Structure 1
């Protein structure tokens, strides 16, 4: 069997060396390095291929964009017939493969086009969506060494939707925790302990309150809202989820303002605030819907001197938002330190160096170390004796 992989510059070609096939690379516009796979950009290669794998990235600045995969489909369509199988091996929102099949065969000449979509359920399990049984058997065998386990579905749209649902689920659970965390301060409970106890029920799997700073969660949860708008359906839950998780920025700002005023008698415009952590991704993918950047913008609009510590963020982006990039040691000099990500160096602050106030948008699990400090964290209300029962 002859297989062509049509990659872009972001494709990890090394992993495709595991494919059980005679494999070549086709893309006249991409320089190929660090792979043993042969590159052949001739039309004859496309003509002779049994399978064409498309891996173009369809995520641009943190949002889905089908333009790259559409261009690839336009490039190959004259070589596609009922004997070829087209595999879409790249994250796509639901109905994208269907739309691309119309790009390949806009006249509907191919009655039963052989199509497959590859995604993942978890780190060990790949999911293959297929258009017919022949495609199922062919691609399952082709991809058998690409994951420890393989699941299949005969509905490609279903496969496309799985990671969207998974990430929307995470976003919704976090929104529940964040909303309850804000309420917990009014009704004086330790939400983190409440969640721990609630999770003793095997049917419950609550998450702790936290900022949502993984782009895939934000992107896919928002995609449900986008799809609902496109197809004229309602998506109030997903929209509320996104709004709730973005509101965490303003709640953290309120917590900082309250602690600084009540404990240090400082108005916000008199203070310096150090924000630790901007993204949980390896790099900042987009500035949209980023809770840490929303927080920075809110402080800067109120004339607060904002310092930012995150090695993954270019200094020019931090400066664009009106803040200054610093090291962790410099953060200890601030009036208020705000922890926004799960980075170990931020979670394990040297509490002896803390000057005034620590605010955490995540639970402080070593909170006993901060008993002699002015601190507050989302979901961990510090009970006063007169409020305890």
Structure 2
């Protein structure tokens, strides 16, 4: 195994080719397949009879048959003279090897029976949890649907969390109790959804297909709005000490989309920064994985030892480092904490003298009769 930038040469030397490149969205939220198409064009120039091509990248359903296959056939070979299958990666940032080798069954789907059987033979050697066989389009849909399920259910949790605030009850308590019923799986609410998967995949269905996808669109809207909702919580907290957002210094803890990973794509923290700045606030940020790199996102870098002028803190990422902060020792101008990830014990932070607000958290009424 060796790395090379010569894709055509690599294709000529290889019997099995695996495509795993990102699929982005354009400015109108339509799937941008240009990278996949470019790779396939290079492969087609080196494709030989008997070769086998696998796409592992997440793709809009029908891409393998309607986009990749025609490009590969420009090699002069016809389907049947080479194999083609979609075998979507089912990994999460930070644990790829574990996921690839046995966290979940591998899903494989070929453009024909022989391609499916070949893919099954390859991945059965790698994956300890076994291989599930289907066709290429179904395999594409499976990976996309996994992301859609999470996006819609997170949106439900976020909307119910806001409902709980109006009902003056604690969403965290309500969700935990509801989930004791085996058919209830309400997710955890938060300040938004980020990463290269969940915020992207809905548009693999919304944009290319004619089917009414109102639920998917509403879910995206709800999750995108959580950044603004989080800022509103900060405004409410500042109001309690007689301050306006435009006169305040805010500290954002975490810019990556998820704790423990150094990835900022579609991170709600970046949306929160932009909203705060547009409202006139001065924004500072600290992320243990990014350090001074936070400044490329429009916030001023600060450490937790230099917070004496900070009026409110917003936790946007569930980094483990934030779970062990000694809030009693943190020197702030005003003790206001907005927990966008529910990682801080409300009882302890309130006892430390903080004005505390969380997504759907109503600690005063938690467990009350």
> TM bucket by the smaller chain?
0.7 to 0.9
Worse-superposed segment, 116-125 or 146-155: 116-125
SS in 2 for 1:119: coil
Partner of 2:252: 275
Q: How many Å separate the matches in 2 of 1:332 and 1:252? A: 22
Once the two structures are superposed, what CA deviation does each residue of 1:318-350 show, in whole Å capped at 9, x if it has no partner?
3553x2011233346511011111112223331
In structure 2, relative to structure 1, the CA distance for the partners of 1:26 and 1:258 (3 Å cut) is closer
In structure 2, relative to structure 1, the CA distance for the partners of 1:285 and 1:299 (3 Å cut) is closer
Q: CA deviation at 1:382?
A: 4.0
In structure 2, relative to structure 1, the CA distance for the partners of 1:285 and 1:370 (3 Å cut) is closer
Structure possessing the higher radius of gyration over alpha carbons: 1
CA RMSD of aligned residues (A): 3.0
Once the two structures are superposed, what CA deviation does each residue of 1:121-148 show, in whole Å capped at 9, x if it has no partner?
5732211111233223333222222211
In structure 2, relative to structure 1, the CA distance for the partners of 1:330 and 1:224 (3 Å cut) is farther
TM-score by length of 1: 0.78
SS in 2 for 1:87: strand
Partner of 1:183: 163
Partner of 2:16: 52
Q: How many Å separate the matches in 2 of 1:58 and 1:364? A: 31
Worse-superposed segment, 343-352 or 307-316: 307-316
SS in 1 for 2:124: coil
In structure 2, relative to structure 1, the CA distance for the partners of 1:27 and 1:343 (3 Å cut) is closer
CA contact (8 A) 1:269 1:303 kept: yes
Partner of 1:200: 180
Q: How many Å separate the matches in 2 of 1:241 and 1:276? A: 26
Aligned partner of 1:302 among 243, 256, 279: 279
TM-score by length of 2: 0.82
Once the two structures are superposed, what CA deviation does each residue of 1:202-259 show, in whole Å capped at 9, x if it has no partner?
111111101213331112233332xxx3233322111111111111111111111111
Q: How many Å separate the matches in 2 of 1:170 and 1:161? A: 14
Aligned residues: 344
Partner of 1:369: 348
- Listed as ranges, the gaps of 5+ residues in structure 2 are 92-98
Q: How many Å separate the matches in 2 of 1:26 and 1:41? A: 12
Q: CA deviation at 1:312?
A: 3.7
SS in 2 for 1:334: coil
CA contact (8 A) 2:286 2:294 kept: no
Partner of 2:233: 255
In structure 2, relative to structure 1, the CA distance for the partners of 1:302 and 1:120 (3 Å cut) is closer
